[in-house]
Amino acid sequence: MTAWDFRTFTRALVATLIGIVVVWLVTAASDEGQLTVGVRAGRTLPLAPLCSAIGAALALGTARVRDETRALEALGRSPGQTARAAALGAALPSILIGLAIGTSSVIDVSGFYPRAPRGDTFVYEDGAFTSATLGVRVADDGEPRTIEGHGLTPDDGLPRHARAAASVATAMAGVALSLVAARAILRVSLLHRRGRRRRRILAAVQVFACALLTLVAFQAAAARVAPASLAMLPPAALLGIAVLGYRARHGHAG
């Protein structure tokens, strides 16, 4: 990796991290408050791949970077080679977030599987009010006590393999959207304005279609009409298209 690639990688990484922080703060300011870190993370992290796409676009879209890219292109360096460093830097946070989702039960993945809210219920039995959903028991003295052996976990009520599907989908979507965004900015020669315009329109359609199909797949899994693994297919398909596009262009340039 050259010094220019490292700077581009760093710019994309920082832009993506800033985007994730902004989404976190907006989520924290607009939710009902008093949420655990895991619940708030579960509401924020599904948007990490979109932040990766924006990070890649911001890192490559400045006037200075465009001028530097033109100079490198004149020296024989293809736009695709220039875009890869930004795509990698922008995708890295989504990859790490995907790993965190898959390995830590602290992160609540119910945000990936939207369902109609259900109120907590209490049942009167043995002289006390008991709530299985809250895991508490309220006796005659009015003091709530934790039910011993209460075995509910953050993934209870979610589809089978819900956490694994959310993890893989997040990581793949982050890589795919970063590649698509970077390719839309620089993949076509900067000397061809019409080609860049068509590429950006195509990229916007691909990103929208991937996001929509993934959302529908998660909702279908939450409704128990499809397996959770279905949500991995749209980002996997987009990732395959992006990788093949890079290889085809690179081979043609060579």
Residue 126 burial (CB < 10 Å; 0-12/13-18/19+)?
exposed
Specify the amino acid at residue 6.
Answer: F
- Whether 122 and 230 map to the same domain: the answer is no
Last residue within a domain, chosen from 95, 129, 157: 157
What is this structure's pTM? 0.77
Note whether 108 and 143 are same-domain residues: no
52 and 65 part of one domain: yes
Examine the domain organization and report whether 146 and 230 are in the same domain.
no
Which pLDDT score, from 0 to 100, does residue 131 have? 66
Share of the chain above pLDDT 70, in %: 71
Q: Can you read off the two tokens belonging to residue 118?
A: 């259900």
200 and 138 share one domain: no
Clarify whether residues 124 and 219 are in a common domain: no
- For residues 87 and 208, membership in a common domain is answered with yes
> So what's the pLDDT on residue 232?
95
Residues 6+ apart with CB under 8 A from 186: 60, 69, 79, 80, 82, 83
Q: Are residues 146 and 171 in the same domain?
A: no
Judgement on whether residues 71 and 197 belong to the same structural domain of the protein: yes
Tell me the pLDDT tens digit for each residue of 105-145: 888 888 898 765 555 566 667 777 776 555 667 777 766 66
Whether residues 187 and 76 fall in one domain: yes
Residues 109 and 211 both lie in one domain: yes
Structural domain count, the chain = 2
Residues 175-232: tens digit of each pLDDT: 999 999 888 877 554 455 666 677 778 888 998 999 999 999 999 999 889 999 999 9
Cα-Cα-Cα-Cα dihedral of 209, 212, 218, 219, to 10°? -140
The CA distance from 184 to 107, in Å, is 33
Taking a C-beta distance cutoff of 8 angstroms, is the pair 39, 108 a contact? yes
Confidence class for position 254, pLDDT limits 50, 70, 90: very low
Q: Give 254 or 44, the one with higher predicted confidence.
A: 44
Q: Which domain holds residue 63?
A: 3-113+161-253
Are residues 143 and 28 located together in one domain of the fold? no
